Amino acid sequence: MLIQMVFIPMHPFWCRTLVDRYGFEGTALAYNLTIMLSFISILTFVKLNTNFEVRQVWVPFSSQMFQNMKIFIRLAFSGLLLFCFEEWCN
């Protein structure tokens, strides 16, 4: 939360600076800059922290994460079909 409290107030400054330079595309750049810097800061905080409770929260990547991927893809595909049919009917 403290990391977010640092980067979120900087977002309007980045928006103003990047919109002046790149137009409306500057808002997307500012958003991506805010999110990426927040992610990198949180990742660095978790990796460098020696507190057991903080390190326990981090889940390393493994092949176990993808064991039930077929179920999620099936759900996503059915939702995509419903969305497409709804758009096509309008």
What are the sequence ranges of the domains in the chain?
2-89
N residues, the chain: 90
pLDDT at 20: 92
Q: Each residue of 8-21: pLDDT tens digit?
A: 888 888 889 999 99
Read off the pTM.
0.59
Helix, strand or coil, per DSSP, at residue 59: coil
Picking from 17-26, 39-48, 77-86, which range would have the lowest pLDDT averaged per residue?
Answer: 39-48
**Residue scoring higher pLDDT (26 or 3):** 26
Cα 33 to Cα 36: distance, rounded to the nearest angstrom: 5
Buried b / exposed e over 20-51, threshold 16 CB at 10 Å, is eeeeeebeebbeebbeebbeeeeeeeeeeeee
**Residue scoring higher pLDDT (77 or 63):** 77
Query: 27: which 2 tokens?
Result: 């808002």
